[in-house]
Structure 1
Amino acid sequence: MNNYKTKKVFLDQGSAADIIYGDAFDRLGLKESDLKPYRGTLVGFTGGRVSVRGYVEIPTAFGEGEFFKKFQLKYLVIASRANNNALLGRDTLNKLGAIISTSHLTIKYPACNGKIGILRVDQEAARGCYLKSVALYGKKAAKESHRITGIFTQEDLRPQPLEETKSVRVKDKILKIGSRLSKNQEDRLITLLGDNLDLFAWTINDVPGIDPSVITHKLGIRPGAKPVMQARRRMSEEKDKAVQVETNKLMKALFIREVQYPTWLANVVMFREANGKWRMCTDYTSLSKLEETWRCMLIVKSPMAGDHGEDLKEAFAQLRKYSMKLNLEKCSFGIQGGKFLGFMITSRGIEVNPDKCKAILDMKSLANV
């Protein structure tokens, strides 16, 4: 660690943090100026909170020679006393590709050359560490592991479910933009949106349709597939009214028409969106011979905030060229991150939506086996 050969490193597959304990920070040649601020909270296995001095990034190497692997790791630095110098959590062990055998006190991992590296623990030293920990804190505390509930720094901030937006008036319309824009960025964005208000569909009648020579959507039914007629499903009164409203909208816009369909027949399915409104979809469960279905979604992502205006102009030009319209209720502009097709889009790229894995992230490590 930090070019020092480090002993007494505890490997904890139940911990979400890498930790440097007590005076090991000084013995690794690190200074207080190397620490970066940490705004999160470190929670022990028993639920107690642990004071964190900050975090530090240092190189950490495993193995030697042809089995050498090296990573730049982030360690939380805590003042708590411990018989170990450091702790490596599950993220680092996963990055290493480590397979741990506690009964053999051995770690195996894939080396860069395709061979298998092996790290063996000194059994006598490991037992000595445990006995000293028991003497210091008691048997229960000696087994305590840690998990992290906070974050590292602003640069590494994990994405929140959705950045807050605010409503702004653009001419006579209301649009949603990011709440973290500077005054100059906000003014330029509002001007750009005002010049392209014709691209928004304020009602379903504002959607002219796309020329069939550009694209045509159809159900790709496999030849020889047997027709399926689903039985009618009864809905609640609220859902039934929502179906009537949505159907009338589509018929009025000439998106659909009424036909007598004696062979293929599928029910509609209603589900409530996050904004509280109903969405009507078609149940293709029985029509499983279809090749594919899709929804058209669009994201304009810019590597630099200053380039976003030009990127939006290019996207708007393409939309106008093919007579495509944007759904106002689905649009947000100038945001730094948010939900998209069930994932989170941030400056780092595409990530898992934390809402969808909250239960797993909050799961505590097993106390007993």
Structure 2
Amino acid sequence: MPTIKAYDGTGEPANNVRTLSNALLLQPVNDAIKCRAFPKTLSGMAQRWYNRLPPNSIGTFKDLSQVFIKQFISVRVYEKSSASLMGIFQGAKESLREYLNRFTKEALKVPDLDDKVAMIALQQGTRDEFFKMSLTKRPPESMLQLQDRAEKYIKVEESMKKIAVNNESTGNKKRKTDQEYDAKDKQLKDEIEYLIRRGKFGRSPKSEEAGGQKRDNDRRDDDRRGNDRDRNPQPRGSVINIISGRPTAAGTTRNSRKAYAREVMSIVGEPSKRSKSEMMLEFGEPCLEGLKFPQDDPLVITSIIGNCPFMRVLVDNGASVDILFHDTFIRMGYNDSQLTPSDAPIYGFNHIEYKVEGAIQLPVTIREEPMEATQMLNFQVVKAASTYNAIMGRTGIHAFKTVPSTYHMVLKFPTRNGVGEVRGDQKMARSCYVAALRPDGTWWQVLPIEDMDVRENDELRGKPAEDLVPIPLDPLDPEKVTYIEASLDKPLKGRMTNFLQKNNDIFVWTSADMPGINPTLITHRLNVDLTRKAVKKNKRTYAPNRLEAIK
């Protein structure tokens, strides 16, 4: 029998079963031999568990594998997703090579790695601004291309460090001349100069003079055109509907926007290519169930942005871009250094200009079990007060190929397995609307607690891996129950039930079950100023059904 590393009760139990099955494929064996060979692959706690198995309790190797995996499921290593790479950042003293090696090790743990998500995660996690700028200007098509480009910046980083060490060791604080470099240092210098000329680190000293002359010429041309701009001032971005500006399908230049506007007027030429979809996205009476009418509420949904579940995401087809508000961006654990710089603003009503702090690409998932879809969206981060966490504009709507309906409060989208839908939260939409109309100017700070806690959404909660059965703890109060696994053996289930019922005093049901705790921790007090004169309010009248509920 081939040598197999013994399993001691830690790690993935299914890997031990697969390793044994693959090793025994070299020669034909039956289930009996597999079962006899299985304890040879165990040690420690796992071996003790096997020795305690009741006689004649295992019939086949499949039964033994299932019982084994179920016993050690608590130490099972769960698979990671591509979105988990978004939390890997380069340390302050970590070199680019060390960061790339650590990132690659984590990426190998993802079974179905999405190269696009991995490349964006690596770009946002690195602290090398020149490397990040290169990836932004010329995005690589694969991880192989990204690693080849990273290798060049690693060589430059290590070369710069070596030069700095040499300068410190010789004690020479002045810059070396070309004659003082030895052959090896001169080769490193030539390599750095080559990368500078290719635009990796901005302009080289030799090209700075020519670039300065060109900038002077451009500045004189701008001065000649300045008077015309003063006579007819124009905003730097187009004003369309509610939120507009920033890079869209129309482009960023005036000529591209004019061509984009003329394109729909043309009747000559072939129709533009587009992806085909055979799914019909339909809305009907079933979509209206549970809604309160009359209503003109906005479509507010819950989605997953950057591996974080978010409530209060507004779906707005009047916005040309996707917006992520800065306070939300900070709460996600990011910082401004991870933003792609941007100097073009966005515009709203009456040409109101909002400065964009930067852009960031994040994976966004919308789902309604079992249908889900994920797309990479380019969010514009804005410092502005809002009752929403994010706004999904037309770019996000078109990326998902979704069809939103504010009347039905439903967002429908195609998936590989059929048509998925996400229902809007009418309660959340109205609470955001009421908060936005507060006259005291603090509406972005005063939001209902239930709109800030994603745990009330049952779909986002973790579910037990096995079936559970209730166990009554108090025969006088049937509502006091706890739960244990349904598939436990009858003797073990009886012993566990007796143990829980004998020690039912450790469970807390009300505040009276917690003696010894300081009352100030659980006592509700009214924030009333006793020096103020009490004012009697007028009696309020209620509808009969509400009055009955109050009583």
TM range (shorter): 0.3 to 0.5
Q: In proportion to residue count, which structure has more helix?
A: 2
TM-score by length of 2: 0.24
Q: In proportion to residue count, which structure has more strand?
A: 1
TM-score by length of 1: 0.36
Structure with greater contact order relative to length (CA < 8 Å, sep ≥ 6): 1
